[in-house]
Amino acid sequence: MKTFKSMMSWVLPIVVGLLVAMVIRHFVFTMVRVDGPSMEPNLENNERVAVVKTAQVHHLSVIVFNAYKVDPDASSKNVKYVKRVIGMPGDTVRAQDGKIYVNGKAISQKFISQFERTQGTGNWDVLSLSNRNNWVLKTTKVPKNSYFVLGDHRSVSNDSRYWGFVPAKRVIGVVKVPIWDTNKTKRHNVNSIGY
């Protein structure tokens, strides 16, 4: 009996700790690895970032979502994309000469350089993209429970311009650059931008 109590005195805290960690990871936050250059200069390939599952998505939030059945080229059920939310449900979105307009107003894109804004963004609106890429849904607005997303490195990003909208149910959470990252500008451009 004494041996059992002694054993339980160290086994029980370990089991409780593991259960708490599993609950936090499943419901509150997790870590993911950025795959590819589509979010440069703010997030680098292979960089590990926190994903807060309970955070609310806003315009310009950087999100992680399961791309399976969103992007036709995402063939695995575990493919995760990291992109920036440009359009929320009901928004009109268009690009013209390096500027992005949401509901007719140009948004601030200070999180990327002028060169990055003009190289690769293109000139389009949601309807022209849906026609050009043969989306099933032909619309002028971001649908209910969906987001329009872009990568910060527009000239290499595979994003909503090609495959359409991200259903809200596919969103895993909002990206946060950890405080130990020494680049204050990058942390601000990912963690603090949004409206």
More confident residue, 76 or 107: 107
| CB-based contacts of 93, cutoff 8 Å, min separation 6 | 86, 87, 100, 101, 102, 125, 126, 142, 148
Does any domain span residue 6?
no
Does any domain span residue 7?
no
What CATH number does residue 164 fall under? Answer: 2.10.109.10
Q: How distant, in Å, are the alpha carbons of 61, 71, 157, 170 from that of 36?
A: 19, 15, 9, 20
Has residue 20 got a pLDDT over 80? no
Quick one: tokens of 174?
Answer: 């909002």
Does any domain span residue 3?
no
Does any domain span residue 146?
yes
In the DSSP assignment, the letter for residue 170 is: G
SS3 13: helix
Structural domain of residue 171, as residue ranges? 30-191
pLDDT in tens, 44-99: 999 999 999 999 999 999 999 999 999 999 988 889 999 999 999 999 999 998 89
The mean per-residue pLDDT over the stretch 108-125 comes to 88
Active-site positions read 38, 83
Does any domain span residue 57?
yes
pLDDT in tens, 133-173: 988 888 899 999 999 999 999 999 999 999 999 999 999 99
d(CA 68, CA 145): 17
Does any domain span residue 9?
no
Name the domain count of the chain: 1
Has residue 15 got a pLDDT over 60? no
CB-CB contact of 149 with 86 (8 Å): yes
In the DSSP assignment, the letter for residue 106 is: E
